[in-house]
Amino acid sequence: MGLGRLSDEVFEAVLFDMDGTLVDSTPAVMRAWTTWMHEFGLTPEQMGRHHGMPSAQVVRALLAEDRHVEAIRRIDELELADVHDIVVLPGAAEALEALRAAKSAIATSCTVPLAQARIAAAGLQPPSVLVTVDDVAHGKPAPDPFLEAARRLGVDPTRCLVVEDAPKGLEAAHAAGCATLAVVTTTRREDLDADAVVGDLSEVEFIPGADGIRVRLRAAAASAA
């Protein structure tokens, strides 16, 4: 499978999700949320429907209002305390480096402290623009994170490419009017509603030019497709 219409597009900016797109935090996330889930009497089935959403929104969706403050404080504690074995995903460092002189951003459902902790733990060199759930009125699947990232970069959201791994994040990108590229790192390919889907960022390259940014399949990925 190729990149479809993305191969013909020239973008002004690339907006990356963080967890599952640039860094693999799955083991740490699972440990934190499994502990939290047991403490608050929830099941994995209840949790699974909310992948990609900010933790506070997950809490509000699952628990009664009188438990929100305690539950949000607890998941924040658990996640900040566990940033072990977080690693950069294949192709992520190369993608960010290729765009170093172009316009790019990270738009994540994490809080500022958690995003910074996970970026540092992975040893990732992030772009200068980092939008977290602390910066917007509504997190994913609302379009706010991507709209804010585009605003900070001074570009029209419709001229941005969003790279995501989660259905809720893709929903946010569509609502913002962005083109979408999904990576199959945490979600089944058939559950990813995107303009194009690849295994991970090692399969594509970002090529900045005078007229904007192009995305191409790398030779090995193109041959496999």
Residue 111: how many CB atoms within 10 A of its CB? Answer: 20
Question: Do 18 and 30 fall into the same domain?
Answer: no
| Cβ-contact 25, 119 below 8 angstroms | no
In angstroms, how far apart are the furthest CA atoms of the chain? 55
Task: Please compute the mean of the pLDDT values over residues 86-104 and round it to a whole number.
Answer: 98
Domain identity same for 53 and 72? yes
Write down the pTM of the prediction.
Answer: 0.90
User: Based on C-alpha coordinates, what's the Rg of the chain?
Assistant: 17
Q: Kindly provide the residue ranges of all beta strands, DSSP E only, lying in 119-174, ordered along the sequence.
A: 129-131, 160-164
The answer on pLDDT for 225 being more than 90 is no
Range of the domain at 39: 26-81
Domain shared by 211 and 100, yes or no: yes
The answer to whether the CB of 177 falls within 8 A of the CB of 16 is no
Q: Give the model's confidence band at 44: pLDDT under 50 very low, under 70 low, under 90 confident, else very high.
A: confident
Report how far residue 133's alpha carbon sits from residue 110's, in angstroms, rounded to the nearest whole number: 6
Please tell me whether residues 64 and 119 are part of one structural domain. no
Residue 17: active-site member = yes
Same domain, 106 and 213: yes
Of 40-49, 66-75, 145-154, give the lowest mean pLDDT range: 40-49
Q: Is residue 191 among the annotated active site residues?
A: no
Query: For residue 99, what is the domain's CATH number?
Result: 3.40.50.1000
**Residue bearing the bigger pLDDT, 165 or 220:** 165
Conformation bin of residue 177: beta by default, left when phi > 0, alpha when psi is -120 to 50 = left
pLDDT tens digit sequence for 123-135: 999 999 999 999 9
Whether 177 shows a pLDDT value over 90: the answer reads yes
Q: Tell me how many domains the chain contains.
A: 2
Shared domain check, 211 and 105:
yes
Can you tell me the distance from the alpha carbon of 217 to that of 215, in angstroms, rounded to the nearest whole number? 7
Which position has the higher pLDDT, 223 or 139?
139
Q: Which of 17, 144, 165, 200 is catalytic?
A: 17
Residue 96 CA to residue 78 CA, distance in Å, equals 29
Distances (CA, A) of 186 to 38, 165, 173, 206: 22, 6, 17, 22
Domain end marker among 51, 81, 111 = 81
Do 147 and 187 fall within a single domain? yes
For residue 90, the one-letter residue type is P
| 3-state DSSP assignment of residue 117 | helix
H-helix or E-strand containing 83?
Answer: none
